[in-house]
Structure 1
Amino acid sequence: MIQEDDLTVAFKALAHPIRRAILDLVKDGPKTTGYLDEQFENVSRYAVMKHLTLLEEAELIVVRREGRIRQNYLNAVPLQQIAERWMNRYQSDLASSLLDLKSNLERGKEEMENEYGYKHDTFQIEQEIRIKAQIDAVYTSLTENIDTWWAYRLCGEHSTLSFEPKVGGQFLESTSEDHGALWGTVTYINAPHEIRLNGLLGMTGAVTSAYSYKLRQEGEETVLSLSHQAAGLLDPNWHTAHDEGWKELLGTFLKKYVEEGKSYHEHSK
């Protein structure tokens, strides 16, 4: 359960409209401090930095510094804890796992790290793949035909993947009504040029994860740019595993499917 002191800090952070606006800006993915500063024309950079500091102290934002660049990530756990205090108990399994993990963390950071090996961290993956095909063909493969080339499964090799290319649409894996996994939810779409999703992609626990595809035509090739950001309590192996996984999924399975018509089953033979 959330402590009273933590509750006071969280409510203080949420009390100001600019701080709530900042959370709205970072909910679809990390934003640099410079970008956030530019969104508030009549507010000084000093004031924006003060708002960000309060959000960080309330653990509503996780900060990762990359050289001179400061990336700001949303941490939704305190918000879920507030909801848990007053809302009924009919919450999703994911929300329950977030709170269970947070409770374990409060028993002691050292104990948690020894038991799970998780660290409070962030990672960002950026990749670019060139595919010899028109942009519409690549976009269709990313959406309508995803079950043919997406090799990774959480529900067994005989499961089915579906993708709804609309805001709020689900990237869903299922074997039956009682067995399924949500790989992502569409938060933005501009067909055939960009798709953004929020989704854990096999990660569990107190994690915020967002990924996006951007497509552009260059001559006879389509350039597919992937961006994936995650923040929260992370297994140290997840960054490498997802980086290598994306390279295989997009650089091998998707590319082979679009260019040669091969499903991932055919590629593995």
Structure 2
Amino acid sequence: MDMIFKALGDPARRDILDRLRAKDAQTLSELEEHYEMTRFGVMKHLGVLEEAKLITTKKVGRFKYHYLNALPLQETIDRWIEPLLAKPAARGLLDLKAQLEGAANMTDKPDFRMETYIHCTQDALWNALTDPDLEAQYHFASDKVTRDGNIVTYHTPDGGVMLICTETELVPKTRISSTFEPKWDGPDMKTSRFDYLIEPQGTFCKLALEHYDIPAGQEGVADGWQRMLAGLKTFLETGKEAKFRYGS
């Protein structure tokens, strides 16, 4: 927590976070264009932000892309605000820096990246991500999840289809690659793809979510991922149903 406050104490670092909030996945060269300081100075600020887990990075080829990871801020704020809230919100994700060497999509740059630590076994996390009955315990918008082979369908409360995910590659207990076919605004919504990356860390598991090829107009999926992964973490660590719904 001290590192977070230290990182936010400098106006240049706050400005970097603002720029990543406006446009994620920026390289050092893109960021340094906005500052009069030297390239080394910008690198130093990025290092402080990364150490505080306020940004996360992914290296693709010779480029290193930077992503805002604001979840530690939410956790810090909740330390004082949570007792005052009568309603739950999407929160609770812990910060981490996760990058699996040799993972798929190493030549691609994700449009959105989120990371967390979950206090659970690798088996428990894998089961929670692949068992539709368990997914229904923490998905913020779907009380019914069904599986037909490698096709996972998330249903709306009225019995319709909200989302279809077709798993394209599974590396047991390590990675899930899947399509992301939204249906909540009709059948013509464009398809994208995502990866879950899992790595055991002692009594914790390190989980990263990377979403690729997000079509214009679907940027709001980032909030949905935050709610879903917050539910996943809470569910695994408490054993109780956890749904961070909109408006709850």
What is the TM-score of this pair, normalised by structure 1?
A: 0.44
Question: Which has more helix, going by share of residues?
Answer: 1
Bigger Rg, structure 1 or 2: 1
